[in-house]
Structures are given as structure tokens and as C-alpha cells.
Amino acid sequence: MARFGVSCGAICAAAIWGLYGLEARAGEAWVSAGAGGGGEAFHSYGGVTWAPFGSLNAEGLRARGWGKALKLNRQGEIGGTGAEGELGWQFVGPAWRFAAFAGAAWRDEAGTGTQLGANLVAQGSYEISSRWRVIAEGKYTIGLDEAWAQVRPEVKLGEALYVGLSAAGNQGPDYKLVQSAVSLGGFSYAMPWMGDVYFSMEAGVQYNVATKNMTPYGVLHLGFAY
């Protein structure tokens, strides 16, 4: 329960960075996937954010859903799977975006079985200047008693490349984790039948407050708009 909540919470927060990195290429949906982890687990996710009545860059209704899985390195088996679905609204200003979501969470984990919860999410970005921006997100899952938050200041280098720092905190009934990483992303590669696929990555450390154990941490994300 604890390991699944920590790992997937952190990686899905990072996935939102890809959506805010989408600038000139606007579409009605943003499909993303990623994989990575620290010294104790390997985790992966896939999801879609949909703007049913307009562009992802514009103000309006948003729907999004995620599928997740966790593999424990030591046992070499899937430790848990999960799914989440949320509805929300994105507000857009001259130099900022803010979105709020609410939805349901489903988990099936070894040792605890199937559990249901409700998500409350807030996320936003602020363009400090033409080169600097800050992205932040917070989430709490009612019923599972899990919470996490992430903040990411970034600087734009060149046409679309962003370099930044990521700081995140994750907490649940029996765990507390802190992550710190360097991020690199915003670049893309043209793929047949898919158009431009966007890539980003993170590398840093993960610290378990309860066990005082620090391990390396790394994640690779990709996504595309359609």
C-alpha cells in the first residue's frame, strides 16, 4: 500500500510537466506515459488529459484518466495496479494557468486487496518571464489518506528545451518520502503516424523519512498531442 502510493503519486505529478511544456503544438488531448523509480521499486503509468470543447492551452473543461503499475525490484513481481479518473476546469490568464480536479481512485494491491478513494487535485504554472516559469501541483486522496505535492522551477534554453529542479513530498498512513531531482525536457522527435513525441527526464535522489534510507531516483516521460 505505502510503496504503491508513494511511487505512483510522484511519477504522475511529474507527468503533468509534459502537458505544461506543450506550447506551440495545441491539441484536444495529451497522451502520456512513463517509467522509472528508486532503489526499492520500479513503477510505470499511462494516461490521457482531454479538452472536449477546445484546445489544451485554453480555458475550459478537462477530463483525465490514469493507469498505474508497481514492480518491486527485490521480489521481481507486480506489487500493485491502480486507475484514476477525474473531471476539472482549467483557468488561463496572461502569464498563468490553474486547474482543479475531483475524481475517483481505484487500487488493487498485494496484502490489502481492492480499495476505493476520491481525489482532490490542484495544479498550476506561472510564467515569471520569457525564460523562467514555475509549475506546482498538490493532491489528496480521501479514503486512502494519501497526499503529495511538487514544485518545479524551470529555465528555458533555446527554442523549446527546459532545465529545472524538482522538489516533491509524499505522505500516507505508514510512509513519508521526499524527492529532489534535476529535470530536462521539452524536446521532441517526429514519429510515423503519431507526429511529434515529446520527451522529458528526471534524475536525483529519494529519501525515506521513516527508514532514513536515501536511494537514486530517475524517471523517463513521453507524450504526444492529438
Confidence of residue 74 (pLDDT cuts 50, 70, 90): very low
Answer whether residue 34 shows pLDDT above 60.
yes
What residue segments make up the domains of the chain, in order of their start? 2-225
The pLDDT of residue 20 is: 52
Answer whether residue 167 shows pLDDT above 90.
yes
Per-residue buried b or exposed e for 74-100, using 16+ beta carbons within 10 Å of the residue's own CB: eeeeebbebebebebebeeeeeebbbb
Provide the 10 A C-beta neighbour count for residue 199: 17
Q: How far apart are CA 178 and CA 43, in angstroms?
A: 17
Q: How far apart are CA 88 and CA 103, in angstroms?
A: 9
Least confident of 7-16, 40-49, 154-163: 7-16
Q: Dump pLDDT digits (tens) for 79-98.
A: 778 899 999 999 999 999 99
Confidence of residue 26 (pLDDT cuts 50, 70, 90): very low
Looking at per-residue confidence, does 72 or 114 come out higher?
114
Q: How far apart are CA 12 and CA 170, in angstroms?
A: 12
Alpha helices in the chain (DSSP H): 2-20
Share of the chain above pLDDT 90, in %: 43
Q: pTM for this structure?
A: 0.81
Answer whether residue 7 shows pLDDT above 50.
no
Q: How far apart are CA 10 and CA 150, in angstroms?
A: 8
Nearest to 202 by CA among 171, 164, 176, 160: 164
- CATH class of the domain comprising 2-225: mainly beta
Angle, CA of 128, 129 and 133, to the nearest 5°: 45
The pLDDT of residue 205 is: 92
Q: Which amino acid is at 170?
A: N
Looking at per-residue confidence, does 201 or 10 come out higher?
201
